[in-house]
C-alpha cells in the first residue's frame, strides 16, 4: 500500500510533520476533508464578493463599487462558485464516500488524488491574486466571451487562463480516479446495478468531466494564442469568428451545469429513502434517467445562444432538445416524490435540505423550460430572469444538496451528532432567505433588468432591495453553518455506526467516526432480491 500519513518520521518538529501529513496524504478520507475545507473556504470568499455586489445593488445609483470593479466581482464570484465551491465540494464528498459506499479500501490512484487536490489551492490563489494586479482582475464574466476576454481582456487574463488550466487538470485527474475506483474496486457482490445512486451519479459526472474539461482547456488555449501568438480563432479581422467562441464554450458549458447537479441528484437519492424509511422508488429508471440527461446535455448548448442570429432550424433543434431534457429530469423528481409517498417520514436536517432541494430545483427547472422557448428567451436572455433560473438550480440545488450531504454524513466523519436544533434553524432561515434573494429576480428580469450591471433604473428598486436583504440574511446563515460544523467536529453526542434509523448501505457498517483505514478486506455483499 502506498505511503500514508502515519509513517512520516516522528523525529520532525510537530508542526512540520503536521503540514507534511496534510501535504503528502494519500488517504481518501483526508483528501476528502481537504477538498471540503477548500470548498468551504472559497464559499465564504466568493460569498463575500456576492455580499458586496448585493450591497451595491441595494439601491439604484453607484454607491460602493466602480463599474469595472463590479464587473470583476461578478466574474470572480461566478468563477469561484462554479470551479472552487460546487465542483470541489462534490469531489470531496466523492472522495470520502465512494470508497465507503462500494467497500473499497481507498481510491484506486491515491497519489494522483493528492496531486489533483493540491493543484487547486494554487489555481485559486492565482485567480484571486489577479484582483491585486495592475489593470484589475478579469472583468468579462464567468463565461469569458471573446472578444471581451481576448482583444479587451485585462493583462491578468493570462493568469486566469493558467488558473483554468490547473483546475481543468485537477478535475480530469480526479474524474479518472473516480472512474477507475468505481470500475475496479467494488467489493464482491457490488454489481453495477446495486451501487448506491450517489456512486452512479458520480460515475456519470466523471465521464462528463473527462469529456468537457479538455474542451474548456482548448478554448482557453485558443484565447491565449489569440492574445499573444497572432492566431485569430475568434478575431473577425483575421478571418475568425467570435461566435465560434460561444459554441465551443457552451459545448463545455452546458454539460458543466449538469456536472454541478448530478451528484446532487445522487445525494437526494441517498437521503430521501433513509428518512422516508422506504427503498428508493424506481432505482433503475433513476440510473437510466441520469445517463439520458448526460447524453442529451451534449446537444443542447445552443440554448445559450438563441440571440446570436442562429438560423430558424438551429433555434428549433436546440429548443426541442432542451425541452426533451425535462423528461428524464421529471422522472427523477417523480421518483423522489414517490419514494416519500406513504413513507414513515421524519424531518431531520438532512431530510429538510433534501426535500428543499427537490422542490426548489424543480422551480429552477421550470424557469429553465421558459428560457428554452426561443421567442421567450429573446426577451429573457441576459436579464435577471436568467440569474434567477440558475441560482435556483445552483443554490437550493447544488449547494443545498451539498449541505444535505454534510449533515447526513458529518456524524460518520466526526463521530459526533451535530446540534439538531441549530441545524433546523440553519435550514429554515436559509430556505427563507434563498427565496427572498432569488425569487424577486424573476420579476426584475421579466421587467427587463439586465444582468451583470452595477446600476439600474429606479423601477427595479423594490425587487432589488428584497434580494439584497435576502442575500445578507443568507450570508449570515452560512456563518451559523460554519459554527455548527466546527462545533460538531469538536464534540457532541456520540454517533452510532448506523447513525440514522433508516440508513442502509456499506458506509453505515463501519464505526463512527470512520477509522483511518476501512474495508482493507472487502466486505461481502449479501445477494438481495433486486
Partner 1 sequence: MSVQGTPQGHGKQAALLILLACSMFGFAFALVPLYDVFCELTGINGKTAGPVAVPDMPGPVVDRDVKIQFVAQVGKGLPWEFRPTVSQLSVRPGEMVTTTFYARNRAGTSVTGQAVPSVAPGVAALHLHKIECFCFERQVLAAGEAVEMPVTFYIDADLPEEISTLSLSYSMFRVPDVEPEQVASN
What are the residue numbers of the active site? 77, 106, 142, 170-171, 254, 256, 258, 269, 303-304, 329, 332, 451
Under the criterion CB under 8 A, does residue 224 sit at the interface with partner 1? no
d(C-alpha 425, C-alpha 503), whole Å: 23
State the nearest-atom distance from the C-beta of 254 to Cu ion, in Å: 4
Under the criterion CB under 8 A, does residue 447 sit at the interface with partner 1? no
Which residue of 311, 375, 490, 527 would you call a contact of partner 1, by CB under 8 A?
Answer: 311
CB count in 10 Å sphere of residue 465 = 16
SS (H, E, C) 10-59: CCCCHHHHHHHHHHHCCCHHHHHHHHHHHHHHHHHHHHHHHHHHHHHHCC
| Residue 460: DSSP 8-state | G
Residue 197: CA atoms inside 13 Å, Cβ hemisphere, count? 29
Which of the ranges 130-138, 270-278, 344-352, 388-396 carries the binding residues for ligand HEM, by CB under 6 A? 388-396
C-alpha torsion sign, points 164, 170, 171, 172? positive
State the nearest-atom distance from the C-beta of 173 to partner 1, in Å: 9
> Nearest to ligand HEM by Cβ — which residue?
368
DSSP alpha helix (H) spans, 185-311: 197-228, 242-259, 262-276, 283-296
Q: How far is CA 447 from the centre of its chain?
A: 29
Residue 248 touches which of Cu ion, partner 1, ligand HEM, none (CB < 5 to 8 A by kind)? Answer: partner 1
Q: How far is CA 211 from the centre of its chain?
A: 17
Nearer to Cu ion, 254 or 452 (CB): 254
Residue 520 touches which of partner 1, ligand HEM, Cu ion, none (CB < 5 to 8 A by kind)? Answer: partner 1
Nearer to Cu ion, 227 or 254 (CB): 254
Residue 381 touches which of partner 1, ligand HEM, Cu ion, none (CB < 5 to 8 A by kind)? Answer: ligand HEM
d(C-alpha 417, C-alpha 422), whole Å: 12
d(C-alpha 63, C-alpha 59), whole Å: 8
Using CB under 8 A, which residues numbered 104 to 143 contact partner 1?
A: 104-105, 108-109, 112
Under the criterion CB under 6 A, does residue 381 sit at the interface with ligand HEM? yes
Which residue of 325, 363, 430, 433 would you call a contact of ligand HEM, by CB under 6 A?
Answer: 325
d(C-alpha 250, C-alpha 244), whole Å: 10
Give the dihedral of Cα atoms 211, 213, 214, 220; nearest 10 deg: 150
Residue 302 touches which of partner 1, ligand HEM, Cu ion, none (CB < 5 to 8 A by kind)? Answer: none
Cell of 424: 433546523
Under the criterion CB under 8 A, does residue 405 sit at the interface with partner 1? no
Closest by CA position to 445, among listed 517, 367, 333, 518? 367
Contact assessment for residue 480 and residue 407, using Cβ atoms and an 8 Å cutoff = no
Any idea what the Cα angle at residue 472 is, between residues 468 and 473, rounded to 5°? 120
State the nearest-atom distance from the C-beta of 143 to partner 1, in Å: 16
Which of the ranges 26-34, 220-228, 319-327, 511-519 carries the binding residues for ligand HEM, by CB under 6 A? 319-327
State the nearest-atom distance from the C-beta of 183 to ligand HEM, in Å: 26
Under the criterion CB under 6 A, does residue 227 sit at the interface with ligand HEM? no
Under the criterion CB under 6 A, does residue 303 sit at the interface with ligand HEM? yes
Contact assessment for residue 76 and residue 49, using Cβ atoms and an 8 Å cutoff = yes
Under the criterion CB under 6 A, does residue 374 sit at the interface with ligand HEM? no
Cell of 123: 489555481
By 3-state DSSP, what share of the chain in percent is helix, strand and coil, each rounded to 5?
70, 0, 30
Under the criterion CB under 8 A, does residue 243 sit at the interface with partner 1? yes
Give the 3-state secondary structure of residue 494: strand
Nearer to ligand HEM, 401 or 415 (CB): 401
Question: Dihedrals φ, ψ of 150, to 5°?
Answer: -100, -75
Under the criterion CB under 8 A, does residue 165 sit at the interface with partner 1? no
Per CB under 5 A, residues contacting Cu ion are 254
Under the criterion CB under 6 A, does residue 414 sit at the interface with ligand HEM? no
Residues near ligand HEM (CB under 6 A) are 143, 257, 260-261, 303-304, 322, 325-326, 329, 365, 368-369, 371-372, 377, 380-381, 386, 389-390, 393-394, 397-398
Binding site for partner 1 (CB under 8 A): 1, 103-105, 108-109, 112, 151, 172, 175-177, 179-180, 183-188, 210-215, 217-219, 221-222, 233, 236-237, 239, 241, 243-244, 247-248, 251, 309-312, 314, 520-522
Amino acid at each position: 500500500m502506498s505511503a500514508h500519513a502515519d509513517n512520516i518520521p516522528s523525529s520532525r518538529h510537530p508542526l512540520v510533520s503536521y503540514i507534511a501529513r496534510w501535504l503528502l496524504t494519500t488517504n481518501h478520507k483526508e483528501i476528502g476533508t481537504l477538498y471540503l475545507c477548500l470548498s468551504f473556504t472559497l464559499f465564504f470568499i466568493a460569498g463575500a464578493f456576492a455580499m458586496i455586489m448585493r450591497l451595491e445593488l441595494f439601491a439604484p445609483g453607484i454607491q460602493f463599487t466602480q463599474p469595472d470593479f463590479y464587473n470583476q466581482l461578478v466574474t470572480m464570484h461566478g468563477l469561484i462558485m462554479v470551479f472552487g465551491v460546487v465542483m470541489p465540494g462534490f469531489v470531496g464528498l466523492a472522495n470520502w464516500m465512494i470508497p465507503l459506499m462500494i467497500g473499497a479500501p481507498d481510491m484506486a490512484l491515491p497519489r494522483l488524488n493528492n496531486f489533483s487536490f493540491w493543484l487547486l489551492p494554487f489555481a485559486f490563489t492565482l485567480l484571486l491574486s489577479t484582483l491585486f494586479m495592475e489593470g484589475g482582475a478579469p472583468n468579462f464574466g464567468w463565461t469569458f466571451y471573446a472578444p471581451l476576454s481576448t482583444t479587451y481582456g485585462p493583462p491578468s487574463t493570462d493568469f486566469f487562463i493558467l488558473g483554468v488550466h490547473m483546475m481543468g487538470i485537477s478535475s480530469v485527474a480526479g474524474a479518472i480516479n473516480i472512474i477507475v475506483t468505481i470500475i475496479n474496486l467494488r467489493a464482491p457482490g457490488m454489481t453495477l446495478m446495486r451501487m448506491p445512486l450517489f456512486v452512479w451519479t458520480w460515475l456519470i459526472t466523471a465521464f462528463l468531466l473527462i469529456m468537457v474539461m479538455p474542451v474548456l482547456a482548448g478554448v482557453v488555449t485558443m484565447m491565449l494564442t489569440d492574445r499573444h501568438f497572432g492566431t485569430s480563432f475568434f478575431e473577425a479581422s483575421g478571418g475568425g469568428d467570435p461566435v465560434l467562441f460561444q459554441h465551443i464554450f457552451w459545448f463545455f458549458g452546458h454539460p458543466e451545469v449538469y456536472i454541478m447537479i448530478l451528484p446532487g441528484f445522487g445525494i437526494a437519492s441517498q437521503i430521501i429513502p433513509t428518512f422516508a424509511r422506504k427503498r428508493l422508488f424506481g432505482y433503475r429508471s433513476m440510473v437510466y434517467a441520469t445517463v439520458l440527461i448526460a447524453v442529451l446535455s451534449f446537444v443542447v448548448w445552443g440554448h445559450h445562444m438563441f440571440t446570436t442570429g442562429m438560423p430558424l432550424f438551429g433555434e428549433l433543434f436546440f429548443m426541442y432538445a432542451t425541452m426533451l431534457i425535462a423528461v428524464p429530469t421529471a422522472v427523477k423528481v417523480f421518483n423522489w416524490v414517490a419514494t416519500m409517498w406513504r413513507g414513515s417520514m421524519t424531518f431531520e436536517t438532512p431530510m429538510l435540505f433534501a426535500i428543499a432541494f427537490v422542490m426548489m430545483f424543480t422551480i429552477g427547472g421550470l424557469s429553465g423550460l421558459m428560457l428554452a422557448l426561443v421567442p421567450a428567451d429573446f426577451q429573457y436572455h441576459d436579464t435577471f430572469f436568467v440569474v434567477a433560473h440558475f441560482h435556483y438550480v445552483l443554490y437550493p440545488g447544488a449547494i443545498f444538496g451539498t449541505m444535505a450531504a454534510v449533515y447526513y454524513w458529518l456524524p460518520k466523519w466526526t463521530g459526533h451528532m451535530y446540534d439538531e436544533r441549530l441545524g433546523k434553524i440553519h435550514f429554515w432561515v436559509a430556505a427563507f432567505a434563498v427565496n427572498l434573494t432569488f425569487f424577486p429576480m424573476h420579476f426584475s428580469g421579466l421587467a427587463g433588468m439586465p444582468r451583470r450591471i452595477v446600476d439600474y433604473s429606479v423601477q427595479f428598486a423594490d425587487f432589488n432591495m428584497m434580494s439584497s436583504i435576502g442575500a445578507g440574511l443568507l450570508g449570515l446563515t452560512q456563518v451559523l453553518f460554519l459554527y455548527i460544523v466546527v462545533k460538531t467536529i469538536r464534540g457532541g453526542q456520540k454517533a452510532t455506526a448506523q447513525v440514522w434509523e433508516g440508513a442502509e448501505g456499506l458506509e453505515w457498517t463501519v464505526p463512527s467516526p470512520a477509522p483511518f483505514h476501512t474495508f482493507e478486506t472487502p466486505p461481502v455483499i449479501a445477494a438481495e432480491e433486486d
